[in-house]
Amino acid sequence: MLDRLRSAVERAYLRYLHRRVETVPTHVAVIQDGNRRYARERGDDAPDGHRAGANTTERVLDWCADLGVSELTLYAFSTENFERPDEELEPLFDLLETKLLEFADADRVHDQGVQVRAIGDVDRLPPRVREAVDYAERRTADNDRFTLNVALAYGGRTELLDAARGVAREVAAGDLDPADVDVGTVERRLYDRPIRDVDLIVRTGGDERTSNFLPWHANGNEAAVYFCTPYWPEFSEVDFMRAIRTYQAREASWRRARAERAAALVRAIAEVEIAEARGVARRLRGRLPRSEIDVVAEELPEGEDVPAAEAVSSPATASVASAVDADDESEPAD
């Protein structure tokens, strides 16, 4: 009776959380921590925890599909994991091989349009795992509605180091001008796998660190981060929805900060010349959500409105509007 009541309450809470979803992250990355501790606390061996965690992974895919998330990256095996004893590594490699093969042939994977890609130094893995990776990538190559990145033999520092070495080799060979090195130059050398910027990182198991995971795509994008205490096999849909709410709160904070910066710039210009302030307001109108235009309008003198966007060619107006755009890219998290 108590279990049925608890289940009913959880379903109701989930419906409430789903109704509160307004913005959905495009790319979610997950650090699946706690499999071994989960097994140990139940008197089981580490491979049992990894198998339980694999079931959670399949559920998370369904949750992402339900919400409309476009890309999911799972930290399945790090470069540091090679230091574990053989009696733990061999069953883990067996599980990776089995799950990749099963997943590649699963009807629901193809029904959901999931494309599987491995990122990391895959060549370091045993041949049977590499063959399973190749098979999964080939079988799902034509799917294009959802991307599942499986980080295998992955290390963020190694990823950046390899990219830097690649750039250095091309510069030394005279094939690349140092002045031409930009963000795209580095991204094209990150394991030869294009990845969207990460919007949200989720880590289970209680530790509050991101463990060398996707430093370019997550830290560079100032991704929202959600840490939670359940071990990965215990991670529930309620936990997942709470992570989504963390992302939403971060996005709302950025929108408020953007509106406040815009209003502050209008005030500053208004002190010099009201005409310029109106021009800046017109330019900013196209860069702010409709709900935040009132924040800017309040800073104009009484009777002045923020009209429909008009072309304003003043150098001062253009430079201030550009400053808002540039600053918007570097706003730190609260």
Q: Report residue 189's pLDDT band, with 50, 70 and 90 as the boundaries.
A: confident
Q: Report residue 193's pLDDT band, with 50, 70 and 90 as the boundaries.
A: low
Calculate the alpha carbon distances from 143 to 8, 24, 111, 113, 182 in Å: 36, 21, 9, 5, 31
What pLDDT, on the 0 to 100 scale, is given for residue 299? 59
**Lowest-confidence pick of 67-76, 220-229, 276-285, 323-332:** 323-332
- 255 has pLDDT over 90: no
Structure tokens given for 268:
């500053």
pTM: 0.71
- 52 has pLDDT over 80: yes
Structure tokens given for 261:
């910066």
% pLDDT > 70, the chain: 71
- 122 has pLDDT over 50: yes
Does 35 count as an annotated binding residue? yes
Catalytic residue among 3, 45, 55, 81: 81
Entry field: residues in the chain: 334
Q: What is the mean pLDDT of residues 156-177?
A: 87
What pLDDT, on the 0 to 100 scale, is given for residue 330? 43
What pLDDT, on the 0 to 100 scale, is given for residue 320? 46
- 76 has pLDDT over 70: yes
Handedness of CA 294, 298, 299, 304 (dihedral sign): positive
What pLDDT, on the 0 to 100 scale, is given for residue 13? 75
Structure tokens given for 135:
């098979």
What pLDDT, on the 0 to 100 scale, is given for residue 2? 63
With both helix axes pointing from N to C terminus, report the angle between 237-270 and 315-328 in degrees, rounded to the nearest 10. 160
Between 301 and 174, residue with greater pLDDT: 174
Mean pLDDT of the chain: 81
Lateral strand order in the sheet of 27-31 = 114-119, 146-154, 71-78, 27-31, 200-203, 224-227
- Bridge partners of 151? 75, 119
Task: Write out the H or E segment, with its range, that includes residue 23.
Answer: none
Distance of CA 231 to the CA centre of its chain: 20
pLDDT in tens, 85-107: 988 899 999 999 999 999 999 99
**Lowest-confidence pick of 30-39, 45-54, 60-69, 293-302:** 293-302
Does 50 count as an annotated binding residue? yes
Q: Report residue 257's pLDDT band, with 50, 70 and 90 as the boundaries.
A: low
Q: What is the mean pLDDT of residues 276-293?
A: 65
Catalytic residue among 33, 149, 199, 212: 33
Does 211 count as an annotated binding residue? yes
**What are the residue boundaries of the structural domains of the chain, listed by start?**
20-235, 255-328
Between 315 and 160, residue with greater pLDDT: 160
- 134 has pLDDT over 50: yes
Query: Distance between CA atoms of 10 and 242, rounded to whole angstroms?
Result: 13
What pLDDT, on the 0 to 100 scale, is given for residue 284? 65
Nearest to 135 by CA among 77, 88, 96, 188: 96
Query: Distance between CA atoms of 25 and 221, rounded to whole angstroms?
Result: 12
Is 212 considered catalytic here? no
Q: Are residues 288 and 322 in contact, defined by beta-carbon separation less than 8 angstroms?
A: no
Does 322 count as an annotated binding residue? no
Structure tokens given for 254:
């950025």
Is 142 considered catalytic here? no
- 308 has pLDDT over 60: no
Task: Write out the H or E segment, with its range, that includes residue 298.
Answer: none
The CATH code of the domain at 20-235 is 3.40.1180.10
What pLDDT, on the 0 to 100 scale, is given for residue 160? 84
